[in-house]
Structure 1
Amino acid sequence: MDNLRKGFPVLKNYTYLNTAASGLLPEKVFEYRQDHDLDFLVSASILKEKQGEVLTEVRETVGKFFRCAPERVALVPNFSYGFNTLLEGLEKPMKALLIKNDYPSINWPVESRDFNCFYAEIDAHLEDNIRAALKKHQPDIFAFSIVQYINGLKLSVDFLKELKKEFPDTLFVADGTQFLGTESFNFDSTGIDVVISSSYKWLNGGYGNGFILFSKNVEGKISPKHLGFGSLQGKYKSHEGNFIGKFEPGHQDTLNYGSLSVALKLLEKTGMDKIEAQIQKLKNFSKEKFSEMDLLEDLVVERNEHSSIYNIKGDKKLFQFLRNKNIITSQRGDGIRVSLHYFNTIEEVEKLLTALEGRR
């Protein structure tokens, strides 16, 4: 277990149960960033002449990690930039299906444009609600989080794969920010059209980097309007009218995208099988204990499929009480959000439980 915690100095000072807000910066990524900026300091444009090679390597690393051909990987600074660029490339008006109270960076951009919006309710029967809404409204696009940011409700990859087969004409656009990095993910086998993700949470890639994974048949359904000199620069973008290049119109930041590459290689070295097993153990233990203490919503208790994010009952005073004990969480919705990554331990969950018992 100690091997899983190596390289995360924050864990020496805090019980960090807050990856859903901000992932930790690994020492390996920090070292890369120092070396990169030192190189830039002393070599300036000589370093930037290698930009194409660096970004090609990052694109290939992302594609390999998530099982998506590199020519279908776009590098973007964050989810919102990528998603808004995609929406501007859709013909409107269109019918859009959203999940009610999903992450604002999903729902707000759709609602602010000329889409006819419909919603699936979040409850214990979320999957049934989505299927019924798709059948009733036949939307052109379904935009959603794989994992809900407030309470951790999770849509299984198997369910999404089955759903896409039922509704092949609907464009499925998924936010993977609260999901990717928690288990192995083979994008090409899912049937999802587009997955967009920031990397600063479960991938531990730091801020300022993200990516988009496109299915083989999505080109032609989206016509991005962004263009710039960077749109045609690089191994996978050199031909005129390049699709992914329209998501990358300007100079790309090799510091931040290089950080993503280092972070993914660290996850790969650690082993996604080990990561997934540790998260599974933590989330099962936590759900059992939180349920016993009546800290969870009924809809979470009733579901089998869930992430390692839990929203427990508590107010601002409890949140501050935990913070004073160096237990780091977030206030979200009507409660306190606890999120567990592979570097967390059962002992840390027990420390949280002891603190909660002491407040009763």
Structure 2
Amino acid sequence: MKNLRKEFPALLHNTYLNTASSGLLYDSLLENRQEHDLDFLIGGSTFRNQQQDFLNGIRKTIAEFFGNSKDDTVLTPNFSLGFNTILNDLDKNNKVLLLEEDYPSINFAVTSKGFEVSYAKVGLNMEQNIETAIEKHKPDIFAFSLVQYINGIAIDLDFLISLKIKYPDLLIIADATQFCGTQVFDFKTSGIDILGCSGYKWLLGGYGNGFVLFNTGVLEHITPENYKNAAKNRHYDPSYTSLIARFECGHLDTFNFGSLQYSLDFLNKIGVSTIEKQINKLSAYTKEELSNLRLLDQNIKQRKQHSSIFNIKGDQKLFDYLMSQNIITSLRGSGIRISLHFYNTIEDIDKLLNTLHRYR
């Protein structure tokens, strides 16, 4: 892993603990992006002639990476656009269960559209809280982040499988932006009906790309009848009328989506299981050390599993001090958020810990 750090120039002068805000650009991706634009520069309009085949190849790469079919994989510039497209056509009489203080791209998007909303509390017993809320409110839809962006609490993936078995009619929609790229994951067996993700964080794809995965038959199930009827009664090219076309309106940016495809191949070469082991190692070490310093919330310390995102006690003054020591973090919620990817090391964490000791 240490040799891979050479790919990331930002690591030369910074202790970068901020992938939950943005993944890093790396040298070989930069070269690939430059080649893309050089082809456009030289080819002009002819550059677009192979666009459809190129985008189909990207869908195939995404589908294979996450265990889905290409035909049920949709490209979108980011999670929020895909999610709002889904919400816009759902019956507003549907009841939606959300998690308290989840990412605004989920919670505000749902509440602003007039759905009847209920909430489950995030914390030590989050999974039990979710099941209790389902029994009480009987929602039609459960929409949530797989990993909470403020404190890194991660939902138990086995719980989602059992939840789908127990409530087969519940539409489960997950935002995986803070999850995809951190561990091996098979969408088809996950119990999730719809999974969306932006590619600029753990997937290292840069900005302007994302995707939505649909389980078999779900995309057709959530498509309004008036859309399907209009598609049948008009002799347009399928690129304008297919189920996927609802999400992929207009021209997609091959520069941005090509970057995502390149990064998925890059992660595959490293090995997703290798990445998962490195992240788990860093997360376990960080959790133990921050617990010893009494900087973690009690809920985080007591949960058996956790992501590589942590929120430590601190304010603007500490944040600024860390920045002055070239330690890059984020202010989130009532504390300072740190987040670790495979390019981080134990030495990075030790630098943070030593800096915190000096500050105290």
TM-score, with structure 2 as normaliser:
0.95
Deviates more, 1:86-95 or 1:99-108: 86-95
In structure 2, how many angstroms separate the alpha carbons of the residues matched to 1:86 and 1:224?
10
Matches within 5 A, 1:1-360: 1-223=1-223, 238=238, 241-360=241-360
Q: Is the 8 A contact 1:102 1:148 kept in 2?
A: yes
For residues 278-308 of structure 1, give each alpha carbon's deviation from its aligned partner in whole angstroms, at most 9, with x where no partner exists.
0000000000000000000011111112100
Paired amino acid for 2:160: L
In structure 2, how many angstroms separate the alpha carbons of the residues matched to 1:225 and 1:178?
33
For residues 228-247 of structure 1, give each alpha carbon's deviation from its aligned partner in whole angstroms, at most 9, with x where no partner exists.
xxx9xxxxx94885222211
For residues 64-102 of structure 1, give each alpha carbon's deviation from its aligned partner in whole angstroms, at most 9, with x where no partner exists.
100100000000000110000000121222100000100
In structure 1, how many angstroms separate the alpha carbons of the residues matched to 2:147 and 2:53?
34
Deviates more, 1:21-30 or 1:2-11: 2-11
Give the structure 1 partner of residue 234 of structure 2. none
Aligned-pair CA distance for 1:162: 1.1
Q: Is the 8 A contact 2:282 2:340 kept in 1?
A: yes
Deviates more, 1:28-37 or 1:80-89: 28-37
Deviates more, 1:247-256 or 1:345-354: 247-256
Q: Is the 8 A contact 2:220 2:243 kept in 1?
A: no
Aligned-pair CA distance for 1:226: 11
The answer for unaligned runs of 5 or more in structure 2 is 232-236
Aligned-pair CA distance for 1:6: 3.2
Aligned-pair CA distance for 1:224: 6.0
Aligned-pair CA distance for 1:3: 2.8
Q: Is the 8 A contact 1:102 1:145 kept in 2?
A: yes
Q: Is the 8 A contact 1:4 1:270 kept in 2?
A: no
Q: Is the 8 A contact 1:18 1:329 kept in 2?
A: yes
Aligned-pair CA distance for 1:59: 0.4
In structure 1, how many angstroms separate the alpha carbons of the residues matched to 2:106 and 2:137?
19
In structure 1, how many angstroms separate the alpha carbons of the residues matched to 2:154 and 2:112?
26
Residues 278 and 88 of structure 1: CA distance in aligned 2, closer, same or farther (over 3 Å): same
Give the structure 2 partner of residue 234 of structure 1. none
For residues 256-277 of structure 1, give each alpha carbon's deviation from its aligned partner in whole angstroms, at most 9, with x where no partner exists.
0000000000000000111000
In structure 2, how many angstroms separate the alpha carbons of the residues matched to 1:17 and 1:88?
36
Aligned-pair CA distance for 1:220: 3.5
In structure 2, how many angstroms separate the alpha carbons of the residues matched to 1:166 and 1:88?
27
Q: Is the 8 A contact 2:127 2:156 kept in 1?
A: no
Identify, as 1 or 2, the structure richer in helix. 2
Paired amino acid for 2:301: V
In structure 2, how many angstroms separate the alpha carbons of the residues matched to 1:144 and 1:41?
42
Percent of aligned positions with the same letter in both sequences?
51
In structure 1, how many angstroms separate the alpha carbons of the residues matched to 2:32 and 2:123?
43
Paired amino acid for 1:85: T
Paired amino acid for 1:192: I
Secondary structure of 1:108's aligned partner:
helix
TM-score, with structure 1 as normaliser:
0.95
In structure 2, how many angstroms separate the alpha carbons of the residues matched to 1:201 and 1:226?
36
In structure 2, how many angstroms separate the alpha carbons of the residues matched to 1:318 and 1:120?
32
RMSD of aligned residue pairs (Cα, Å): 1.7
Aligned-pair CA distance for 1:136: 1.3
Regions of 4+ moved over 4 Å: 224-227, 237-241
In structure 1, how many angstroms separate the alpha carbons of the residues matched to 2:17 and 2:52?
37
Q: Is the 8 A contact 1:26 1:263 kept in 2?
A: no
Q: Is the 8 A contact 1:86 1:224 kept in 2?
A: no
